[in-house]
Amino acid sequence: MLINGKQVALKEEKTLMDFLHEEGYSLSRIAVERNGRIVPKAEYGRVMLAKEDEIEIVSFVGGG
C-alpha cells in the first residue's frame, strides 16, 4: 500500500486502527483519507487495509 506517498508492505491482515497504533500515531491528532475519502474516526477499527490502498495520514502539532 501507499502511505503518505511511500510504498509500505502489508505483511498480515490488519485494521487501520492496528496500523495507526503500531506506527505510534495519536488518534486524537490526525485525519486519515483512504483512496480519496475521509475515514470517520469511528470506522478506524473496522477498516481492513488492502494492498492496493492509498492512505494519507495528516498529523497536527500544537501552536497557533
Partner 1 sequence: MNTEVIKDMQSRLEKGRVAIAGLGGLGSNLAVMLARAGVGHLFLVDFDRVEESNLNRQQYFLPQVGKYKTDAICEVIQKINPHLTVHTQCITVTAENALPLFREYDVVCEAFDRPEAKAALVNCLLEYSRVKIVSASGMAGLGDMNRVKTTRPLARLYLCGDGTSEEKEGMFSPRVTACAAHQANAVLRILLGLESEKGV
Using CB under 8 A as the criterion, which residues of the chain lie in contact with partner 1 when the complex forms?
A: 4, 26, 28-31, 33, 36, 38, 40-41, 56, 58-64
Burial classification of residue 28, based on how many CB atoms lie within 10 Å of its CB (0-12 exposed, 13-18 middle, 19 or more buried): exposed
Q: Which is nearer to partner 1, 7 or 28 (CB)?
A: 28
Smallest gap, in angstroms, from Cβ of residue 20 to partner 1?
13
Smallest gap, in angstroms, from Cβ of residue 3 to partner 1?
12
User: Which H or E run includes 17?
Assistant: helix 16-22
Cα 19–chain centre separation: 7
